[in-house]
Amino acid sequence: MTINLYFVRHGQTLLNQYNRLQGWADSPLTAKGMADVTAAGQRLKNFKFDACYYTGNTRTLHSAQLILAQNETSARNLQPQALELLREQGFGYFETEDANQVWLMAGATHGTRTHQDIIDQYGFAKTRDFLHEVDPFGDAEDDQTYWNRIEKGFDYLRQHHEDGQNILILNHSFTTRGLVDRYAPELGAKKLGPRNGAVTKFALKDNGLEVIYYNRDQEDAEY
């Protein structure tokens, strides 16, 4: 069985604009953010989607609605469904805080100063573990907790969809980036996260996940 997953990073939000962490917390799309996903909708307007999911917050719901409003092939009554299992990693105590300050704190005892430093020296898993270590409430997701949740999300999709179906999923930067780094590190997600409105395609199979392409938003690209 192969299910085609089209991950689209939601449009820019107010917290994105201010460089603040935004996992389970939420904020509205900016004017640029609405333009981000409107452009994505145009690129995907001729795709027939069998289902559409958002991750339980307004930024992915609004993004999904803007994309589906332009779709000329999917059923007119197709509505986004919430699938919180695939939401962004939880930053716990540090939700909505300045990203640069948070990652400086997370890496302070490990010889790093930035999020990218942690990735370069220790890998993506440690960005979650280090943040969990310094969260005074212990609410930031550690790596194992995070992946257990994500895998349950993929199991849900396997159980509810059929071979060959096309599924649109409005998703997030760290989740998409982490998946691509895990399953196709040669595509460079370690150095570059997906742009707002960019499309990443996965093939979900019985025994795993294959990355078909990553971070596409060019008008002349194949989707």
Please give the single-letter amino acid code of residue 159: Q
Identify the pLDDT of residue 142: 98
Query: Is 11 annotated in some ligand binding site?
Result: yes
Query: Is 145 annotated in some ligand binding site?
Result: no
pLDDT tens column, 184-223: 999 999 999 999 999 999 999 999 999 999 999 998 889 9
* Residue 215, φ and ψ in degrees, nearest 5: 60, 50
- The pLDDT confidence band at residue 159, using thresholds 50, 70 and 90, is very high
pLDDT tens column, 127-145: 999 999 999 999 999 999 9
Residue 170 confidence (pLDDT) above 90: yes
Q: Which of 62, 72, 84, 88 is catalytic?
A: 88
| CB distance 197 to 64 below 8 Å | no
Identify the pLDDT of residue 109: 97
Domain boundaries along the sequence of the chain: 2-89+142-216, 91-140
Identify the pLDDT of residue 74: 84
| CB distance 46 to 70 below 8 Å | no
Residue 77 confidence (pLDDT) above 90: no
Kindly state the average pLDDT of the residues 156-176: 98
pLDDT tens column, 30-57: 999 999 999 999 999 999 999 999 999 9
Residues 2-89+142-216, CATH architecture: 3-Layer(aba) Sandwich (3.40)
| CB distance 111 to 122 below 8 Å | no
- The pLDDT confidence band at residue 19, using thresholds 50, 70 and 90, is very high
Question: Is 172 marked active-site?
Answer: no
Query: Is 178 annotated in some ligand binding site?
Result: no
Residue 211 DSSP symbol: E
Query: Is 14 annotated in some ligand binding site?
Result: yes
CA distance 60 to 111: 35
Kindly state the average pLDDT of the residues 172-185: 97
What does pLDDT average to over the chain?
A: 97
Query: Is 19 annotated in some ligand binding site?
Result: no
Question: Is 72 marked active-site?
Answer: no
Does the predicted TM-score (pTM) go above 0.95? yes
